[in-house]
Amino acid sequence: MPVNVGTIDRALRAIVGLVLIALVFVGPQTPWGWIGLVPLLTAVVGFCPAYSLFGIRSCAIKR
């Protein structure tokens, strides 16, 4: 898989993912917080399927 998520984008995705997962344990405690696994996983892997579908790249370096 090619990397299509840049550094700043990866950091924001990781933060959003962790915040959403934290909502499962504190706050409203609804299972919707588990949706935070998606941005967290894309931040770790560096590949976003939606970006490749629409031809978007936030990563400047081609790997």
pLDDT at residue 27, rounded to an integer:
86
**Statement: residue 63 has pLDDT above 90:** no
* Residue appearing with tokens 């998520």: 5
| CB under 8 A, 24+ apart: contacts of 30-39 | 39/13, 39/14
Domain residue ranges of the chain, discontinuous segments joined by +? 5-54
How far is residue 20 from each of residues 3, 17, 63, measured CA to CA in Å? 24, 5, 30
- Give the pLDDT confidence of 3-53 residue by residue, as tens digits: 999 999 999 999 999 999 999 999 888 899 999 999 999 999 999 999 999
